[in-house]
Amino acid sequence: MRRVALLTLAFGLGLCASAQGRPPIVDVHVHTSPRYYGEVLDVLAATGVTRFVNLSGGSVGDGLEESLAAAAQHDGRVLVCANVQWRHFARPDFGAEQAALLEQAAALGARCLKIPKALGLGVPDPDRPDRYLAVDDARLDPIWAAAGRLKLPVFIHTSDPKAFWEPVTPANERYAELSVHPNWSFHGPQFPSREALLAARDRVIERHPGTTFIGVHLANNPEDLEAVDRTLKAHPNLFVDVAARVPEIGRHDAERTRAFFVEHQDRILFGTDLGYGRQLMLGSVGTNTPRLPDLFLFYADHFRFFETAERQIPHPTPIQGEWRVDAIDLPPAVLRKIYATNALKLLWGEDAPGEVDAEALLTAPGLSELF
Ligand SMILES: [Zn+2]
């Protein structure tokens, strides 16, 4: 803990200085365990991030209670998503059972539901064990309906980068990452196509207009901004986060990307895919072990991308590819929404029109204790 405090002081102050004028930030896409909530808040406060959402909250009787109890110690700065117990997928009433658990989760204080990419790419279909359970399988409808009724936004991870469907050879632009994680490859006839997965997800969103969905990783289609634009326009109940996708988002023409962000400014949320535990995950995991200074650089690279007009700068997640990105220089009012206001409205349920209360958000008791 002392080491964390010193590093936070040493590297965080530099960022704080450059964060002058930046609104307080909410990271809606973090994976951590309840024992680290205080530490994550302390470390992130040095970057200007004052609240976060833990997408790995667990489920009722399986970690969720501990997550919520820990979050309750932090004054509303940590929100917890519930998870589905996929291991019970073969039970005949799986959907209804999980919907009932979700009801309990909401009553206990969970504020969202996180669906992993295992749905569509890992959970077997109980009727056809040689196939994966389809994302839009009707047996899951009770879960989506319950989330809508309970007003729990659903963070949904469906599909993955295009390159993960291509052969794992040195010609694959994500070869470095796939070499470290061969099981992230979905190349081969045993896997549904990327397009089929995304279409199935969109049918779920269509079928449940009363449920709010947050398509993580820019709806997992940052390679094709036009397609994400169409999907957002077709589904008013869909939001997106930018977690772990600045490398892809930044490859497009910066003016076009900026226009996309300005057009959809009310439906885009800042998130990073930070994993904080015994090891750090900064959007992805490579061969080397990131340390706290890397975490500060990771956030700084995000801010540089969204806030400056620089060309051909490093992106936050080097393992995701060796290219550079063009920053998109978002207007302050748009930044404020993407960094905080949209998340506060959608997840915290705070009516936060106009200015966010910067003073209240920036007061980080944990951090002052450290110093
Ligand atoms: Zn994630």
Percent of the chain with pLDDT over 90: 81
Show the tokens assigned to 365.
């008791």
Specify the DSSP class assigned to residue 224: -
371 within a domain of the structure (yes/no): no
Half-sphere exposure at residue 276, Cβ-oriented, CA atoms within 13 angstroms: 27
pTM for this model (two decimals): 0.90
6 within a domain of the structure (yes/no): yes
Distance, CA 29 to ligand 1 centroid (Å)? 6
d(CA 158, CA 223): 14
Distance, CA 281 to ligand 1 centroid (Å)? 10
Half-sphere exposure at residue 101, Cβ-oriented, CA atoms within 13 angstroms: 23
212 by DSSP, 3-state: which? coil
The answer to whether 120 touches 194, Cβ cutoff 8 Å, is: no
3-state helix, strand, coil in the chain (%, to 5): 45, 15, 40
Domain count, the chain: 1
362 within a domain of the structure (yes/no): no
More confidently predicted of 168 and 350: 168
Distance, CA 104 to ligand 1 centroid (Å)? 24
Distance, CA 166 to ligand 1 centroid (Å)? 22
Distance, CA 177 to ligand 1 centroid (Å)? 16
pLDDT, residue 4, reads 55
pLDDT, residue 7, reads 52
Distance, CA 246 to ligand 1 centroid (Å)? 14
Distance, CA 371 to ligand 1 centroid (Å)? 31
- Tens of pLDDT, residue by residue over 208-233, are 999 999 999 999 999 999 999 999 99
DSSP element (H, E) containing 304: helix 292-307
- Tens of pLDDT, residue by residue over 128-150, are 989 999 999 999 999 999 999 99
What is the rounded average pLDDT of the residues 163-178? 93
Distance, CA 30 to ligand 1 centroid (Å)? 7
Q: Is the pLDDT of residue 351 over 70?
A: no
Distance, CA 216 to ligand 1 centroid (Å)? 8
- Tens of pLDDT, residue by residue over 77-108, are 999 999 999 999 999 999 999 999 999 999 99
Distance, CA 159 to ligand 1 centroid (Å)? 12
Distance, CA 83 to ligand 1 centroid (Å)? 13
195 within a domain of the structure (yes/no): yes
pLDDT, residue 289, reads 86
Show the tokens assigned to 59.
């489920």
Percent of the chain with pLDDT over 70: 89
- Tens of pLDDT, residue by residue over 292-336, are 999 999 999 999 999 999 999 999 987 878 899 999 999 999 999
What is the rounded average pLDDT of the residues 37-45? 97
35 within a domain of the structure (yes/no): yes
188 by DSSP, 3-state: which? coil
41 within a domain of the structure (yes/no): yes
Range name among 14-23, 137-146, 167-176, 199-208 with the lowest pLDDT average: 14-23
> Contacts by 14-18 with C-beta closer than 8 Å and gap 24+?
14/296, 15/46, 15/47, 15/48, 15/296, 15/299, 15/300, 16/46, 16/48, 18/300, 18/303
The answer to whether 192 touches 131, Cβ cutoff 8 Å, is: no
Distance, CA 275 to ligand 1 centroid (Å)? 8
Distance, CA 349 to ligand 1 centroid (Å)? 22
57 by DSSP, 3-state: which? coil
Q: Is the pLDDT of residue 42 over 80?
A: yes
d(CA 205, CA 324): 33
Report the CATH number that the domain containing residue 292 is assigned in CATH: 3.20.20.140
Distance, CA 243 to ligand 1 centroid (Å)? 7
Distance, CA 242 to ligand 1 centroid (Å)? 11
Q: Which residues lie below 8 Å from residue 348, measured CB to CB, with a gap of 6+?
A: 51, 76, 79, 111
359 within a domain of the structure (yes/no): no
Distance, CA 322 to ligand 1 centroid (Å)? 21
pLDDT, residue 321, reads 80
pLDDT, residue 20, reads 52
Specify the DSSP class assigned to residue 170: T
Q: Which domain, by its residues, includes 298?
A: 2-354
b (16+ CB within 10 A) / e for 342-351: bbbebbbeee
364 within a domain of the structure (yes/no): no
